[in-house]
Amino acid sequence: MVSNQPICSKCGGTLIKDEDGRKCLNCGHVWVSNRDLGKFYKDHRSEIEADLKAIGRTKTMGKWQIASGTLAGLLKKWGIKEAPAPRAPAVSPTPAALPRFPDYNESWPPEAQVAWLNIYQVLIEKQ
C-alpha cells in the first residue's frame, strides 16, 4: 500500500506540517516551497546583487545556497547581465622555448644519423 504522505528529499523520512512549514521527522530538514524561496530571493535582491559584485558568482551561490540554474533565472528576471569570466589565454610552445636542435655528428651510430636526417627534413619542410 502506497502512502500519500509527503517524504523528505534529503533522507526519505516523513514530513509533518509545522508552524514553519513542513519538517522531516527523521533529520529535521525544513522543506521550503518554491514560492517561499522566490519571495526570499526577492526580499534579499539588493544583498545578492552586492555579493555578486563583491565576491563573485560561485561564492554568492554558496553563501545564499542558490543553485546555478536558479541564479541564472533570477539574473535574467532582474535584467542583470554578467560579464563573462576572464579566461587565461591558450599557451602554445614557442620556438624559443624548445631546446636547440643538435648539430649532425659523424660519430653517431647509423640509426641515430638516419633519425636525425628524418627529423631535420621535417623541420625544414615546416619552415
Q: What is the pLDDT of residues 18-43, one digit of tens each?
A: 776 788 888 877 777 788 888 999 99
- Does position 125 have pLDDT exceeding 90, yes or no? no
Residue entry with cell 530538514: 29
The DSSP element (H or E) to which 17 belongs, if any, is strand 15-18
In a domain, 82, yes or no: no
Verdict on whether the full-model pTM lies above 0.85: no
In a domain, 89, yes or no: no
In a domain, 109, yes or no: yes
Q: Which of 41-50, 74-83, 90-99 has the lowest mean pLDDT?
A: 90-99
In a domain, 12, yes or no: yes
Please state, rounded to an integer, the average pLDDT across all residues of the chain: 83
In a domain, 18, yes or no: yes
Contact between residue 116 and residue 124 where contact means Cβ atoms under 8 Å apart: no
pLDDT band at 68 (very low <50, low <70, confident <90, very high): very high
The residue range of the domain holding 119 is: 100-126
Contact between residue 81 and residue 74 where contact means Cβ atoms under 8 Å apart: no
In a domain, 37, yes or no: no
